[in-house]
Amino acid sequence: MSASFVSRPISAVLPFWRDPARWTTVADVVAVLLALSLPWSTSLVGILSAVLLGAVAPTVVPREYLALLKQPICAVPIALVALALVGTLWSDAAWGARLYAVGPTAKLLMLPVLLHHFQRSSRGEWVFTAFLISCALLMLVSWAVFLHPALSSKPAEEAARGIFVKNYIDQSQEFTLCAVALAYPIIMLLRSGRTAMALLLTVVAFSFFVNMTFVVVSRTALVTVPIMFAVFAFLHLRWRSIVLIVCAAAVFAAVAWQTSPTLRWTAETFSRDYTLYKEQNVPTSIGLRLEFWRKSLGFFVEAPIIGHGTGATRGLFERVATHGHEASSEVIGNPHNQTLNVAVQWGIAGVALLFAMWLLHLLMFRGDGFATWIGLLVVVQNIFTSLFNSHIFDFHEGWMYVLGVGVAGGMVLKSAAGAVEPAPPDRR
């Protein structure tokens, strides 16, 4: 065997299907495609997630992966999925309903895969950039549909609100995350004197807010945007900057309130929906949530330790539903609150795992840096929006959490460990 052959890197000798460095690149590309497709398609996300598993598999270092699985940031989400599986044993729902209810937890199994992969890849920022570009394109399409509803295949009411795909809650979640996430790179660019790029990103962020102001915005986004900005201000801004930004935000809010009927209508529905529910038992959006929460707390008290079992929620609501068209007659399999959704099915055991997962992922994103900021923001958004929805179990928001925490967490772990990406193949 020649000396030149022996000296060549193994990546140049192995065939493609056995070359970890090349599979790392393939997995990066698939992750980027997944981020691009997330705002647009559910089926494509499912397909690409399976492809991503296949692409990552040849790159896995078993010893490192097993060590990662033992870390609480991975062990706790896996334990929550395991509890959902075991919870099928004491549920009184039909087996089809039990197994179907396990499905929303399964996406959490992708967290260790993403953490392991992006702990060694240097292309994590590509994934976030792809998601931003995809959301920006969706924002432009939203404006087009708002102006010409016939462009959308959605029902007339949704098309008139600027919805091209999915729904206004998903769209608001995406736009809110992108707009607030851009605050960090904007500040960093300004501090380094790169004013032109900072101005460009400011225009993009402002465009998301303008769309949510004049086209459509969810009430959940209205509540969580100030919280997300408060987290950023507390971590990255001086008091004088905070005061200036608050003043600017107050001016924008005042102008938006006066010029946007959509924003006023969305804000006014808080009190209107509550009044109709309390006085007439009308099944308004807020009224239904309050009804679901009240009943769910009762179900939790009935079985506080391990809950009623996986998939039991709908049957419990059917048991206490009244006849008629009032709020109390509604039957649901999702109480629109992540904590209650878990508590009804798996009791204190499930809630402890859920809260532990959120806390561990928050602690993972301590410190400074772009990846740290993105990961922290994704977790904070999920925690607070999960007060009004089951956003870990919902497909779209759940994948935003898994992708954001997995990619950003891998980047943070790599930075902490000083990991190095596998060397690219020698093409000489």
Express each pLDDT in 366-414 by its tens digit: 888 889 999 999 999 999 888 888 889 999 899 999 999 999 999 999 8
pLDDT for residue 160: 62
The answer to whether 330 and 283 have CB atoms below 8 angstroms apart is yes
Most confidently modeled of 160-169, 186-195, 328-337? Answer: 186-195
Q: Where are the domains of the chain?
A: 20-59, 123-264
pLDDT higher for 161 or 137? 137
Q: What is the pTM of this model?
A: 0.83
Q: Per-residue pLDDT for 200 more than 90?
A: yes
31-62 pLDDT tens trace:
999 999 999 988 999 999 999 999 998 888 88
d(CA 164, CA 152): 5
Strand boundaries in 213-334, DSSP class E: none
DSSP 328: G
**Of 130-139, 320-329, 409-418, which one has max mean pLDDT?**
130-139
Q: What is the mean pLDDT of residues 201-219?
A: 83
- The residue with tokens 């969810």 is 218
Question: pLDDT (tens digit, 9 = 90+) per residue, 288-327?
Answer: 777 888 888 999 999 999 999 999 888 888 887 766 556 6
Overall average pLDDT of the 150-177 stretch: 77
Collapse the DSSP code of 165 into the 3-class scheme (helix H, G, I; strand E, B; otherwise coil) and give the result: coil
Which pLDDT score, from 0 to 100, does residue 277 have? 60
The first and second tokens of residue 51, run together, are: 């492809």
Rg (CA), the chain: 23
- Lowest mean pLDDT segment, chosen from 322-326, 330-334, 424-428: 424-428
CA distance 179 to 244: 18
pLDDT value of residue 108: 95
